[in-house]
Amino acid sequence: MLLPIVVLLLAGAAAGFLSGLLGIGGGLLVVAALSLALPALGVPGAEVMRVSVATSMATIVLTLLVSATAHIRRGTVVWSSWIWLAPGMVIGGVVGAHLAQLLSARTLRWGITAFCALTAWRMAFGRKATASAQGTGVAPRSPWLLSAGAGIGAISAMVGIGGGSMTVPLLVSLGVRPIQAVSTSAVCGLVIAIAGAVSYALSVHAPPQALPWGSVGYLYLPAAAVAAAGSMTLAPVGTRAAHALPSTALRRVFALFLLVVGGLIAAGG
């Protein structure tokens, strides 16, 4: 029992640091840790991936709450873009959570693994934005961001993340400075996490197998609390690091992070 708790604490701490550093909730790392720890905590094998994704969303809410607050205080959130992205992200978060409950555990696991690999490749080797490395300072505001937000929200809720791996590259490609993209992504991720977590908790698809005490829908609250305890501690540290590191370093850290996490999730199968 002690080892799963330690794993979740460490994963939560790393996720908190990454949430501040990269504008993500560290959800993929939490999903990987949960997929390894939940069987030892009494979650049936057939439900491990769905519970992992759902519980990750609950953890992200608390993690990104700390991270987003820190970024807001620094004044680097592009609110004019967030206003267009957020409504679509709420809709997408609800739809994505619904779809994840319809997929088989195996399909969900390998889908998340493939998402990690694809995003890592894009961040490490994909074409950079046409804007300069420092960005143009443009604040994109357009109705089409609503549909982009819906797509990001849906995918994020399906794989248990805050959407930073998609929101940050999108904003940078539109001319937003990297640090502003990270800050805005953190606030966007909070919206996605809340929508996804509520959807998993109030699921219309009740888990076919009984889950341990402390579960609400597909959320396993004790595990979420342990991971969140670690994440909320280091999120402000990551935020300070994000304001000190150059954009190229952020991209490389992000790519390496995703490759490691993808391997952990695949190994859990």
Domain-wise residue ranges, the chain: 2-267
How high is the pLDDT of residue 130? 42
How high is the pLDDT of residue 123? 66
How high is the pLDDT of residue 236? 76
pLDDT, tens digit (0-9, with 9 covering 90-100), for 90-101: 999 999 999 988
Tokens (6 digits) for 17:
């640091």
How high is the pLDDT of residue 133? 45
Cβ–Cβ < 8 Å for 21, 242: yes
Q: What is the dihedral of CA 94, 100, 101, 103, to 10 degrees?
A: 150
154-164 residues labelled b (16+ CB within 10 A) or e (exposed): bbbbbbbbbbb
How high is the pLDDT of residue 248? 65
Beta-bridge partner residues of 215: 220
Q: Residue ranges of the chain with pLDDT lower than 70?
A: 1, 19-20, 22-26, 123, 126-138, 204, 242-243, 245-251, 254, 264, 267-269
How high is the pLDDT of residue 250? 66
